[in-house]
């Protein structure tokens, strides 16, 4: 079975404003993505990076699992784009760099706009970026 390490891209400690409140939220987007991958037949290792000190804390998971794919899930609906936190984007890309030795990295970014009960105003999009 093909192994995928899936990590969420939001590190609360890098968001000084949000870290002040000490109220982390579960990485629901990453959990959803893990469910989809498992249903597709992949072995999924979820690396919850929410409380990590830095993106390099993903490295031991990558070394232990040696996955074929690394998916870094960037939940664009969360604070990443809403609050324009460039530091989170940089952390997401930093998480993909160590994996280059033994796997292909994928940065999965989702954005939801116009969320409401009306089907006509509800839009969603998904972008997938492969790192070299």
What's the CATH number where 75 sits?
3.40.50
> How many folded domains does the chain comprise?
1
Average pLDDT over residues 114-127: 35
Sign of CA dihedral 40, 43, 49, 54: negative
**HSE (CB half, 13 Å, CA atoms) of 29?**
22
- CB within 8 A of 97, min separation 6: which ones? 105, 131
Task: Look up the domain containing 41 and give its range.
Answer: 3-130
The 10s digit of each residue's pLDDT in 53-67 is 999 999 999 999 999
Q: Give CA–CA dist 84/67, Å, rounded.
A: 31
Residue 115 reports pLDDT greater than 90: no
């Amino acid at each position: 079975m093909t192994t995928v390490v899936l990590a969420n891209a939001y590190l609360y400690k890098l968001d000084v404003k949000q870290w002040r409140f000490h109220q982390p939220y579960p990485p629901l987007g990453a959990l959803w993505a893990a469910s989809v991958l498992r249903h597709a037949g992949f072995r999924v290792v979820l690396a919850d990076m929410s409380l990590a000190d830095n993106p390099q804390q993903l490295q031991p998971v990558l070394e232990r699992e040696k996955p074929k794919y690394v998916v870094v899930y960037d939940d664009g609906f969360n604070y990443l784009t809403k609050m324009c936190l460039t530091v989170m984007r940089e952390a997401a890309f930093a998480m993909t760099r160590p994996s280059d030795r033994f796997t292909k990295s994928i940065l999965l970014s989702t954005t939801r706009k116009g969320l409401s009960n009306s089907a006509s105003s509800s839009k969603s999009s998904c972008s997938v970026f492969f790192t070299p």
